[in-house]
Chain A
Amino acid sequence: MSERIGVFVCHCGTNISSVVDVEQVAKDAGGWDNVTVAMDYKYMCSDPGQELIQSKIKEHNLTRVVVAACSPRMHGPTFKKTLERVGVNGYLMEMANIREQCAWTSDPGELATEKATALTRAAVKRVNFHQPIKESEVSVNKATLVVGAGIAGIQTALQIASAGYPVYLVEKEAYIGGHMAQFDKTFPTMDCSACVLTPKMVDVNQDPNIDLFTNSQVVGVEGYVGNFKVKVRTEPRYVNLKTCTGCGDCVSACVMKDRIPSEFDEGLGKRSAIYIPFPQAVPLKAVVDKESCLFLAKGKCKQTCIEACQVNAINFQEEEKFTELEVGSIVLATGYKLFDPSIGPQWGYGLYDNVITGIQFERLANASGPTGGKLVLKDGSQPQRVAIMHCIGSRDENYYAHCSRVCCMSSVKFAHQIKEKTGAEVYEFYIDMRCFGKQYEEFYNRVQEEGVQFIRGKGSEVVEVDGQLTVRAEDTLLGVFREIPVDMVILNNALIPQEDSDQVASLFGLCSGEDGFFLEAHIKLAPVNTAVDGVFLAGCCQSPKDIPDTVAQASAAAAQALSAIALGKVKLSPVRAAVEASRCSGCMSCVNICPYGAVGFDKEQKVSVINQALCKGCGTCGAACPTGAITTSHFTREQIMAQIEGVCAQ
């Protein structure tokens, strides 16, 4: 029996119809083999559009449907449901992408229409061979893994835990809080960062539903949505988390006391080899830095820390530990790294004493920082003139093209703090002021009124002229070149992807965008989802964002995980590969190329076997298979060949 195909061509308002003659496409389609009905409509995805499809299915008893509209990523699920609501299997529908792949990339005219027709014809040819396939359901493990315990991970973890479900929170550092713990004040309200963050950090530590793994990294991920198996490696802390009281006796006793540059203070302060980075640290337990600990690095030390500890919490024999976790969802909140401005000698970072980065300024300004919150130069004196340079490494084709989104506002915040603390002259060198958030513009106006000088022009160079630190810039409003002598320069450097973001992406099966940040499933409509079902994104690992946006996204990621838990089961796509054993010769071409480790080998039968639960239907094994023994459902050879034939036919 031949199929009865309905073809529905969408105008997408004028998105498609202004470039492609959609009526002509529908008219042509009406004449093709097996096409029972073909029509065009303004918005196929709208309620009346979907109802039109449904009524035509019933009226003509259609067995197959082609929707020529946008990308199937956009509305594939929409139209699949349209069919399912009238009792037709959703996989008997095929979309021809005549928007993204035709209208948006073509000039209006006959050629565009011809291409849209070819794409539609391909879909029609293909849909003849579609099979009604069914999704399977699996139960969802109620625990969630959150990777990274900055503000994003903390927010996600607390939100899920507060709903009563277990969370494993894994942090690679010895302490939680991330960058936000280092900040002094937060814009635009000038709340103290610690005052808003530390209560949440303490909550994390005390919440019975949260299992915190510090000094830990995820080293293995297996499984699929609802049922992930995760392996976590915990580096030795050399301090017993249970018995250490955080008294700090060991810290004062350490022979390396005040000799190691403190990472938390961005190198401006010093710490011991055994240390607690800041007074509100969570967990408030000492940690040994094995690189700088004399005993661990060289085997020679009096071990004064062990003597000092009254609870015998220090143990240099501690070894790394592996923990296997089972979770239903994973939220990645792995944050960002700051661009290293010493890469560009024009900025003078590392060359001149009083050129510092934004995060170093945060530590200088912080009451618990190395200067007790006093804003001073290297020699201890107060600066009279300070330059703040925006976009160091961002919006710069030589380094990173993206906008880091937070630096305009943090620069305004710095200016305000400098004015408040010292009354110094402040010069801000900016390309554009991007003060887009709630109360941001008002804050900017306020700081302008405080007498800060905003110079539109990216600072091009920081030099010393006769021993005087000087910023050179083009003032694009005045159209003049300026040289401004200053005492201190703050480089507001770019937020960039973490050093190991590529490895993390491949570990979790994610993609990275052109900027290196993890790629979301849809930039507008699925900003916390990823290409991997059950893996979500929160915070700056997806793209630079400020604290309000991070918290919002973190809550959204928590909601995604919670919704899977609430449903209790998730649907697995039936698009999966399978091996036809009678064709497989056991060449193993497919075994080691599966990105999901789904292809195994049956040594007795000498054939490959695909684990249906792990398979994501990506098709890599099928492409590699030299005998055609592997077929991916919904992407069978006859479907693909028919599609190619449809594109190539005249």
Chain B
Amino acid sequence: MAKLKLAVYWGAACGGCDVSILDLHEKILKIGELADIVLWPLAADPKYSDIEAMEDKTIDLCLFNGAVRNSENLEIAELLRRKSKILVSLGSCACFGGIPGLGNLFNKKEIFNSVYLDREFNANEEQIVPKAKVTVPEGELTLPEFYNTVSSLEQVVDVDYFIPGCPPPPDLLWKAIEAIVSGNLPPKGSVIAGDKALCHECPRKREGRKVKEFKRLVDVILDEEICILEQGVVCNGPATRGGCGARCVRANIPCRGCFGPIEDALDQGTQLLSAIASTIDSDNPEEIKKITDQLADPAGTFYRFSLPVSMLKRRKEEGEE
């Protein structure tokens, strides 16, 4: 059998997904046997021009991690789509926008101000912020354009499969690679993960208890046996796709929601919000307000990984219809 051609790329990402590929450990050698790596910025040094020079659909499998945050991300996403037979959205950022997607609560100007100008540690007397084009005596320099809005990969190009997770668990990644190598492909659009929400595979005991207060993780020592939500700590498990093996809750950490919404879910954040609201043990509006005020950063908690693909998508801009 001819060797497969494999591309791995990162958009707006932290690099964790690339590292999770390395987490395949000795199986990575197997990948070396099965495939030629035509692009992997983290580990190898091919050029974009090499990819551009290829015939369309030359690459057998492209693992694209990271969100689409700037014009370079978009350009390469489109390029790799053209050149790849199978494009896999790898990790929460590519699948749902991920943590960079929380940038949609702001806009480009606010982000630049915050990063380059307003902070105590900014030493930027000339008030320089990145520009897509700048002219210097030697000529014109360009940078990718930074977008106002973060998108998931699927929002910009057609995607064949999704492997969620922050980072994706190596066993799911391996499962996907095996399926592709063996030609035993799942239906297009499949999410390589569980079908039900995390609670289904959570080993903790649940009784449907309600809570009188919400606590932050730093303020409690969690019981290891009882449902985290019933201990008054927000856990995103009820509205988050399972299949991760309940890694976090087994480590006594609440689910952060990285596997994103479950199949056909309307909106992970609002569904979480209503599930969390239903655990509040009070009928008194004032007391309920007091309890909900204890929820720190609701947008960042409930939409932690999925804001760009939610019904909200982003904060409404002034003057926007």
Residues in A557-608 with C-beta less than 8 Å from chain B = 582-593, 601, 606
- Best-buried of B208, B237, B263, B278 by chain A (most CB within 10 Å): B278
Q: Label chain A's interface by main secondary structure.
A: loop
A628 to B200, Cβ gap below 8 A? no
Per-residue CB contact flags for chain B residues 222-240 toward chain A (1 = under 8 Å, else 0) read 0000000100000001110
A637 to B277, CA, bound (A): 20
B271 to chain A: which residues have CB within 8 Å? 625-628
Cβ of B206 and Cβ of A588 under 8 Å apart?
yes
Chain A CB within 8 A of B262 CB: yes
Do A626 and B239 contact each other (CB < 8 Å), given the known contacts A583-B262, A585-B197, A587-B199? yes
Chain A positions within 8 Å of B198 at CB level = 585
Q: Contact: A585 with B274, CB < 8 Å? A: no
- A591 and B196 contact, Cβ closer than 8 Å, known pairs A585-B242, A624-B274, A628-B271: no
| Residue of A584, A601, A626, A641 touching B274 (CB-CB under 8 A) | A626
> Given the complex, which residues of B lie within 8 Å of A641, measured CB to CB?
266
Q: How far is the CA of A588 from the CA of B208 in the complex (A)?
A: 5
- Residues from chain A with a CB closer than 8 A to the CB of B264 are 628
Instruction: Establish whether residues A590 and B196, one from each chain, have CB atoms under 8 Å apart when the complex forms.
Output: no
Inter-chain contacts of A623 with B (CB < 8 A): 274
CB-CB < 8 A to B229: which residues of A? 587
Question: Do A589 and B200 have beta carbons less than 8 Å apart?
Answer: no
B296 contacts the other chain (CB 8 A): no
Interchain CA distance A587-B198 in the complex, whole Å: 9
With beta carbons under 8 angstroms apart, the residue of A588, A589, A627 that contacts B196 is A627
Least distance between B293 CB and chain A CB atoms (Å)? 20
**A608 nearest CB neighbor, chain B only:** B208
A-B pairs with beta carbons under 8 A, tally: 72
- Of all chain A residues, the one with the shortest Cβ separation from B268 is A626
| 0 or 1 for each of B173-208: is its CB under 8 Å from A? (1 = yes) | 000000000000000000000011111100000111
By a CB distance below 8 angstroms, the chain B residues around A582 are: 195-196
Q: How far is the CB of B315 from chain A (nearest CB, A)?
A: 19
A271 vs B48: C-alpha distance when bound (angstroms): 101
Chain A nearest Cβ from B137, distance in angstroms: 53
Q: B265 at interface (Cβ–Cβ under 8 A)?
A: yes
> Is B248 part of the contact surface with A, judged by Cβ < 8 Å?
no
Give the CA-CA distance A626 to B265 in the complex, in Å: 8
Taking each of A583, A586, A589, A601, which has the highest tally of chain B beta carbons within 10 Å of its own beta carbon? A589
Would B277 and A624 count as touching, CB distance under 8 A? yes
Interface membership of B80, Cβ < 8 A: no
- How does the 8 Å CB contact mask read for A320-350 relative to B, with 1 for contact and 0 for none? 0000000000000000000000000000000
Q: Does B279 have its Cβ within 8 Å of any Cβ on chain A?
A: yes
Task: Report how far A80 CA is from B271 CA in the complex, Å.
Answer: 33
Beta-carbon contacts under 8 Å, A616-635 to B: 623-628
Partner of B208, one of A583, A591, A625, A637: A591
Determine how close the nearest CB of chain A comes to the CB of B205; give it in whole angstroms: 11
A626 near B208 (CB under 8 angstroms)?
no
Q: Are A586 and B200 in contact, CB atoms less than 8 angstroms apart?
A: yes
> B residues within 8 A CB of A628?
262, 264-266, 271
- Chain B residues lying within 8 Å of A586, measured Cβ to Cβ, are 199-200, 206
Could you tell me the distance in whole angstroms from the C-beta of B270 to the nearest C-beta in chain A? 9
> Nearest chain-B residue to A623 (Cβ)?
B274
Q: Are B278 and A606 in contact (CB under 8 A)?
A: no
Residues of A within 8 A of B200 (CB): 585-586, 606
Q: In whole angstroms, how far apart are the Cα atoms of A585 and B196 in the complex? A: 6
Asked if B272 is an interface residue, CB under 8 A from chain A, the answer is yes
By the criterion CB–CB under 8 Å, are A626 and B196 in contact? no
- Binary A-proximity of B263-290 (CB < 8 A = 1, otherwise 0): 1111000011011011100000000000
Known: A585-B197, A628-B265. A592 touches B208 (CB 8 A): yes
Do B199 and A585 have beta carbons less than 8 Å apart? yes
- Docked complex Cα distance between A395 and B279 (Å): 40
A641 CA to B311 CA, complexed, in Å: 12
The verdict on A637 contacting B275 (CB below 8 Å), with A586-B200, A588-B206 known, is no
Which residues does chain B contribute within 8 Å of A584, judged by CB atoms?
Answer: 196
Q: Which of A583, A585, A593, A601 contacts B238 (CB 8 A)?
A: A585
Q: For residue A641, which residue of chain B has the nearest CB?
A: B266
Residue in contact with B197 in the complex, picked from A587, A590, A624, A637, CB distance below 8 Å: A587
B197 lies within 8 A of A627 (CB)? yes
- Please tell me if B210 contacts chain A, counting CB pairs below 8 Å: yes
Shortest beta-carbon distance from A139 to chain B in Å: 32
Residue of B nearest to A581 (CB): B196
- Give bound CA distance, A534 to B188, whole Å: 52
**A624:B278 contact, CB within 8 angstroms:** yes
Q: Which residue of A lies closest to B235 (CB)?
A: A587
- CB of A588 within 8 A of CB of B265, answer no
A606 to B229, CA, bound (A): 17
**Provided the pairs A628-B264, A628-B266 are in contact, do residues A592 and B210 lie with their beta carbons within 8 angstroms?**
yes
18 other contacts beyond A586-B206, A592-B210, A625-B274, with CB at 8 A cut-off? A582-B196, A585-B198, A585-B200, A585-B238, A585-B242, A587-B206, A588-B199, A588-B208, A590-B278, A592-B209, A601-B208, A624-B277, A626-B274, A627-B197, A627-B239, A628-B262, A637-B266, A641-B266
- Interface residues, chain B, CB within 8 Å of chain A? 195-200, 206-210, 229, 237-239, 242, 262-266, 271-272, 274-275, 277-279
A-B contact pairs, 16 of them (CB 8 A): A585-B198, A585-B199, A585-B237, A585-B238, A588-B199, A588-B207, A589-B275, A592-B210, A593-B278, A623-B274, A626-B239, A627-B196, A627-B197, A627-B265, A627-B271, A628-B271
What 8 A-B pairs come out closest when comparing CB atoms? A585-B197, A626-B239, A626-B275, A624-B278, A587-B238, A588-B208, A585-B200, A587-B199
